[in-house]
Every structure is written in C-alpha cells, then in structure tokens.
Amino acid sequence: MNFQELQKIYFKHYYKKNVPEISRIEQREIAITTFEAESIIRHLSFNSINTLQKFTVSKVPKHIYHSAAYYKYPDNPDMESKVWLGADLVFDIDADHLETEVCRDVKVMTLECLEEAVKETKKLIDILINDLGLNDKDVKIYFSGHRGFHVHVENDIVRELNQDERRELIDYILARNLNPERYVRRSIKGYVVLIRSDLQGLGRRLFSATSRFVDIKYLDSKYLKYRDVKKLSKFISDNINMIEKMLRVQIDEIVTMDTKRLIRAPNSLHGKTGLRVTRLDVKDLDKGSEYIIDKAIAFRKGMLRVRLLRDLSKIRVMGENLDSTSKDSIVKVPAYIGIYLVNTGLGEFIDEK
C-alpha cells in the first residue's frame, strides 16, 4: 500500500463520522480536490449537509472548499449566471507571510511562528468586536489546518458589502494613511487628546501602542499640557512606521476583497497536513499554538514508519519530540505526525506490509 492510499483510508474513516460545517450550504458553491488529481473540481452544490457527507464518504476529497458567497444557482459553471446574493466577510492570516523574525524564511511550520499568527488573529478579533461593534456570535474563528487562521463574519450587514466598502474596511484594519494630528487637537482648556483607552477605534489602538513607550502621566485623560503634547507628538512622528506596524493586522487583502472567494471548509481535513480545520474561540487562542494544534488532531490511533528526509534536531513536530531526528533515520510515529511529515516533504512513508 502506498502512502496516498493509506491517507485516503484515514480520510474516509474521518468523513464517515464527521462532516464539514457549512452554513446555508444550499446557496454555496462547493469545490474539492481529490487524491488522484490536484486540479480543483468546482461548481458543486448540495441541498443539505447530509448529502455532502454521503459525497465525502464516496469520493474522499483531499481538500474541501466552499464559497464565501451565496448564490441563487451555485452549481452553474458560469459565474455571472450563478446570481450573486451576497458574501461573508472572510479574513486569512497566514503565518509564513508574517513580517516577524521567527517566521522569516520558515520552511517548516513551528509552534513559535504559529504563535505569531495567534497574536495577529487576536488583534483582528479585537478590532471586529470592540472597534466595529460586531456581535461575537457572528465572528467565527478557525485554525486553517496548516499555517494560520481564518475568520468568517456572517451577518446580513457585511453580506451586502461591495468590494469598495471591503477595501475601506481593509484600510482601517491595516491602519493605512495614519495621521496623528487628527488625534491631538487644541481647545480652550488645552489640548484634547483622542489617544485614550476609553475610546473606540484607532484612538484606543494608538493608546495601546504609544503607552508602552511614552511615559506621560496623564496620557489617559482628556486634556494634556503643552509639554506632554509635544512629547507625545514627537514620539508618534519619529516612530510612525513602527506604530503603524504595531496597529496593523497582517491579513491577506486579496482574500477579504474577493466576494466570490473559495475558502477551506470548517471541520474538513487539510490534505497537506491531515489536521482538521478547527473552530476556535478567543479562550482557545489564549491557550496558545500547542493547544490549538492538539485540538486539530484528527488521527490519534495508529502508528506509521517514516524515514526522515532532513535533520529535525531543531524542530518539534506538532509540539512533539521525535525519538530520532537525524536525516535518514527511521522513526515510528503516531499517524497524525507521520501524515504531516510525509505531506510536507520531511519524511518518506515506509510500508510495513
């Protein structure tokens, strides 16, 4: 038995007991890739989760996607003829695209790099709920099953946003065109400072960023004395790039802009890792990347023999230390680690026959 056949058996067993979680599935386009071919099969439609589950058990997809959009005719192969009815607001935070030292030139996803994606995701959730006033029940967080996180916002208001409106929202999240002068204004009583923790929006986020560095006694009050204003303004002007970077959430703009985007289906399996696309809450994010990976493990039973194709002495695979880490060594590992090692090119499956 080759590795692809073995992985397909594991995936089929999973889909017999689990089904992707897709809201309003009858209005979504579904797409898959298979183990036999990498080309994507699009324009599928299902009238219920049950019919989708029967399909997944029969076809055993390697990857499953659904449209962020809702359509009147989701299975029509012509995009215009589908009749667009709206789209969820979707965000993608990918750890290997982050501008951080621990993620720089990363070839293998590490817990440390994934932790950086956790931080970005928490920043995004904070903005969506505390700045934009979204109901936390409408904001759904998912571990992508590989290198990052997806956030779906599902409600009637965001569903109708066009691309220009989504672009404005992206600019706000990225803290583009930040003008500090808008947040410090002169009044009769002195200088009104809109950089305070009791405000919403960028003023609150600016307070969080600047208060780490600027020791101004009355920064959190409404009025500042001239010398304090001068100190604050100089700091912001001198460090505008750093502050913008601290405020910015490193989302994939193209994903959020695209009102017809395909996104990985929640509770499906990621074909490159064998991990589950896992629903999370903010408390899960607080528990860290190792907890999140553990929650996403789908295959806890079974062992696989794998020959390592590179030295892994400096890498913990999914938070686990291998018995041997030198290149060409043969290790017996839990199925979920074996599937990950082979799919990511770190190992070669050895059939015990």
Whether residue 92 lies in the annotated active site: yes
The verdict on whether 75 is a catalytic residue reads no
Between 287 and 214, the higher pLDDT residue: 287
Give 113-143 pLDDT, tens digit per residue.
899 999 999 999 999 999 999 999 999 999 9
State the catalytic residue, choosing from 252, 258, 284, 294.
252
* CB of 318 closer than 8 Å to CB of 340: yes
- Higher pLDDT among residues 98 and 337, named by residue: 337
In the structure, what pLDDT confidence band is assigned to residue 162 with cuts at 50, 70 and 90?
A: very high
Q: Which long-range contacts (CB under 8 A, 24 or more apart) does 279-288 make?
A: 279/21, 279/140, 279/141, 279/142, 280/141, 280/142, 280/143, 280/149, 281/141, 282/122, 282/125, 282/136, 282/141, 284/141, 285/118, 285/121, 285/122, 285/125, 285/141, 286/122, 288/111, 288/115, 288/118
Mark whether 136 is an active-site residue. no
Q: Is the pLDDT at 197 greater than 90, yes or no? A: no
pTM, full prediction:
0.91
φ/ψ of 89, rounded to 5, equals -95, 115
> Over 90: is that where the pLDDT of 76 sits?
yes
Q: What is the pLDDT of residues 234-291, one digit of tens each?
A: 777 777 788 888 889 999 999 999 999 999 999 999 999 999 999 999 999 999 999 9
Q: What is the DSSP track for 318-344?
A: TTB--S--STT-EEEEEHHHHHHHHHT
